[in-house]
Chains A and B, each alone.
Chain A
Amino acid sequence: MMASLTPQPHIATGLTDVAQPSREEILRVNDLTVSFPTDDGLVRAVRGMSYVLHEREVLGIVGESGSGKSVSSMAIMGLLPKSARITGEIFYRGDDILTMRAQQRRSLRGRKIAMVFQDPMTALNPVYTVGDQLAEAVLAHELIPRKHALARAEEMFALVGIPQPRQRLNSYPHEFSGGMRQRAMIAMAVINNPDVIIADEPTTALDVTVQAQILEKLLEVKDAVNAAIILITHDLGVIAGTAHRVLVMYAGKPVEVTDTDGLFERPRMPYTAGLLGSIPALESDVDDRLRPIKGAPPSLIHLPSGCPFSPRCPLATDVCRTDEPDLLGTDAYDHLAACHHWPKLARADDPTMYFRAESEIVR
Chain B
Amino acid sequence: MSTELERTESARASATAPAGVDGIAVVARTQGQMVRRRFFRHRAAIAGMLTLAFVILLAYTSIGFGPVTGWWDKTYVSTGPVIDGGRPTLGLVPNFLGGDGIRLGEHPFGQDNVGKDYFALVMRGTQRSLVIAFLIGIVVTVVGTLVGAIAGFFRGRVEGVLMRLTDTMIAIPTLIFAAVLAAVARGTGNIIVLGIVLGLVTWTNLARLVRGEFLSLREKEFVESARAVGTSPWRIIHKHILPNTVSVITVTATLTVAAGILLETALSFLGLGVQPPDVSLGSLVSQYQTAFQSRPWLFWWPGLFIVAIALSVNFIGDGLRDAFDPRQTRVRA
Contact = CB atoms under 8 A, between A and B. Distances in A.
Please determine if A and B sit in direct contact within the complex, based on CB atoms under 8 angstroms apart.
Answer: yes
Contact of B332 (A83, A301, A312): A83
A40 B24 contact: no
A301 B24 CA distance: 14
Interface of A: 36-41, 81-83, 294-296, 298-299, 301-302, 304, 311-312
Interface of B: 4-5, 7-8, 10-11, 13-15, 19, 22-24, 330-333
A127 to B, nearest CB: 23
Contacts of B332: 37-39, 83
Contacts of A37: 331-333
B5 A81 contact: no
A298 B5 contact: no
A123 B332 CA distance: 27
B22 A294 contact: yes
B1 to A, nearest CB: 16
A251 to B, nearest CB: 12
20 contacts: A37-B331, A38-B331, A38-B332, A39-B7, A39-B332, A40-B7, A40-B8, A41-B11, A81-B331, A82-B333, A83-B332, A295-B24, A296-B24, A298-B14, A299-B8, A299-B14, A301-B14, A302-B11, A302-B14, A312-B22
A299 B333 contact: no
B23 A295 contact: yes
Nearest to A81: B331
Given A83-B331, A83-B333, A295-B24, A39 B11 contact: no
Contact of B11 (A36, A295, A301): A301
Nearest to A301: B11
A304 B14 CA distance: 9
Contacts of A301: 11, 14
Given A83-B331, A312-B23, A39 B14 contact: no
Nearest to A295: B22
A311 B22 CA distance: 8
Given A83-B332, A83-B333, A40 B11 contact: yes
Nearest to B8: A40
Given A295-B22, A312-B23, A302 B15 contact: yes
B10 A299 contact: yes
Nearest to A82: B333
A39 B10 contact: no
A36 B333 CA distance: 9
Contacts, number: 47
A39 B22 contact: no
Contacts of A294: 22
A38 B333 CA distance: 8
Contacts of A40: 5, 7-8, 11
Contacts of A302: 11, 14-15
Which 9 pairs across A and B sit closest by C-beta, in order of nearness?
Answer: A311-B23, A39-B5, A295-B22, A302-B14, A299-B10, A83-B331, A83-B333, A40-B11, A299-B14
Q: Main SS of the interface on chain A?
A: loop
A311 B24 contact: yes
Contacts of B10: 296, 299
A52 to B, nearest CB: 32
Nearest to B4: A39
Nearest to B23: A311
Contacts of A38: 5, 331-332
A81 B332 CA distance: 11
B3 to A, nearest CB: 10
A298 B22 CA distance: 12
Contacts of B8: 40, 299
A296 B25 CA distance: 11
A314 B4 CA distance: 39
Most chain B C-beta atoms within 10 Å of own C-beta, residue among A38, A82, A295: A38
A304 B23 CA distance: 10
A182 to B, nearest CB: 26
A34 to B, nearest CB: 13
A80 to B, nearest CB: 11
A296 B5 CA distance: 22
A295 B19 CA distance: 12
Contacts of B333: 37, 82-83
Contacts of B331: 36-38, 81, 83
A85 to B, nearest CB: 11
A159 to B, nearest CB: 39
Contacts of A83: 331-333
B7 to A, nearest CB: 6
A356 to B, nearest CB: 16
A83 B8 CA distance: 19
Contacts of A311: 19, 22-24
Nearest to B333: A83
Nearest to A298: B14
Given A83-B333, A295-B24, A311-B22, 12 more contacts: A36-B331, A39-B5, A40-B5, A40-B11, A83-B331, A295-B23, A301-B11, A301-B14, A302-B15, A304-B14, A311-B19, A311-B24
B160 to A, nearest CB: 29
B157 to A, nearest CB: 32
A312 B21 CA distance: 11
A252 to B, nearest CB: 15
Nearest to B13: A299
Contacts of B13: 299
Contacts of B23: 295, 311-312
A37 B24 CA distance: 23
Most chain B C-beta atoms within 10 Å of own C-beta, residue among A83, A294, A299, A304: A299
A181 B23 CA distance: 42
A82 B331 CA distance: 10
Most chain B C-beta atoms within 10 Å of own C-beta, residue among A36, A40, A304, A311: A40
A83 B330 CA distance: 11
A85 B296 CA distance: 57
B316 to A, nearest CB: 23
Contacts of A36: 331
A298 B4 CA distance: 23
A39 B330 contact: yes
A142 B5 CA distance: 41
Contacts of B11: 40-41, 299, 301-302
Contacts of A296: 10, 22, 24
